[in-house]
Amino acid sequence: MRKSKNILPGFGPSLGYTVTYISLVLLIPLAMVFLKTFTMSWESFWKTVTDPRVLASYRLSFTASFAGAALNGIFGLLLAWVLVRYRFPGQKIIDALLDLPFAMPTAVAGISLTTLYSANGWFGQHLERIGIKVAYTPLGIVVALTFIGLPFVVRTIQPVLQDLDKEYEEAAASLGASRWQTFSRVIFPALVPSWLTGFTLAFARALGEYGSVVFISGNMPMRTEIAPLLIRTKLEQFDYTGATAIALVMMIISFILLLIINLLQSWNRRRLAQP
Amino acid sequence: MQDIKRLQKHPKAECILSEPVWFQWVLIGVAVGFVIIFLIAPLLMVFGQALAKGWGAYWEAIREPDSFKAIQLTLLTAAISVPLNLIFGVVAAWLIAKFDFWGKNFLLTLIDLPFAISPIISGLIFVLLFGMQGLLGPWLSQYNIKIVFAVPGIILATVFVTFPFVARELIPVMQSLGSEEEEAALVLGANGWQTFFKVTLPNIKWGLLYGVILCNARAMGEFGAVSVVSGHIRGQTNTIPLQVEILYNEYNFTAAFAVASLLAFLALVTLIVKHVVEWKSGRHLSGTLH
pLDDT at res. A145: 96
Q: Which residues of A touch B35 (CB under 8 A)?
A: 79, 94, 97-98
Averaged pLDDT of chain A: 90
The alpha carbon torsion through B143, B148, B151, B157 (nearest 10 deg) reads: 130
B102 to chain A, any CB pair closer than 8 A? The answer is: no
pLDDT digits (tens, 9 = 90+) for A88-103: 999 999 999 999 999 9
B94 to chain A, any CB pair closer than 8 A? The answer is: yes
pLDDT at res. A1: 42
**How far, in Å, CA of B182 to CA of B194, rounded?**
10
pLDDT digits (tens, 9 = 90+) for A123-178: 999 998 898 899 899 999 999 999 999 999 999 999 889 888 888 888 888 888 88
Q: Which of A54, A27, A7 is nearest to A249 (CA)?
A: A54
Weakest mean pLDDT among A122-136, B100-114, B271-285: B271-285
Taking the CA of residue A109 and the nearest CA in chain B, the distance in Å comes to: 7
CA-angle at A271, arms to A270 and A275, nearest 5°: 100
Reply yes or no on whether the pLDDT at A228 is more than 50: yes
B62 to chain A, any CB pair closer than 8 A? The answer is: no
pLDDT at res. B288: 31
Q: Which residues of B touch A150 (CB under 8 A)?
A: 38-39
**How far, in Å, CA of B32 to CA of A86, rounded?**
12
**How far, in Å, CA of B213 to CA of A209, rounded?**
22
Task: Answer for the pair B104, A14: CB distance below 8 angstroms, yes or no.
Answer: no
Weakest mean pLDDT among A226-235, B104-113, B116-125: B104-113
Question: Inter-chain contact A258–B28, Cβ cutoff 8 Å?
Answer: no
pLDDT digits (tens, 9 = 90+) for B138-178: 888 888 888 888 899 999 999 999 999 999 889 988 988 88
Reply yes or no on whether the pLDDT at A4 is more than 50: no
What is the ipTM for the molecules in this complex? 0.90
B106 to chain A, any CB pair closer than 8 A? The answer is: no
Number of helices (H), then strands (E), in chain A: 16, 0
**How far, in Å, CA of B115 to CA of B82, rounded?**
17
pTM as predicted: 0.90
pLDDT at res. B15: 54
Reply yes or no on whether the pLDDT at B194 is more than 50: yes
Q: Which residues of A touch B153 (CB under 8 A)?
A: none
Q: Residue ranges of the domains in chain A?
A: 35-164+193-273
Reply yes or no on whether the pLDDT at A63 is more than 90: yes
Reply yes or no on whether the pLDDT at B119 is more than 60: yes
- The Cα-based distances of B279 to B169, B174, B272 in angstroms read 16, 18, 11
Taking the CA of residue B41 and the nearest CA in chain A, the distance in Å comes to: 8
Would you mind telling me the total number of residues written for chain A in this entry? 275
pLDDT digits (tens, 9 = 90+) for A243-253: 999 999 999 99
Greater model confidence, B130 or B134 = B130
CATH code for residues A35-164+193-273:
1.10.3720.10
CB-nearest partner of B224 from A9, A103, A106: A106
Q: A255 Cβ partners below 8 Å, 6+ apart? A: B116
Q: How confident is the model at residue B261 (pLDDT cuts 50, 70, 90)?
A: very high
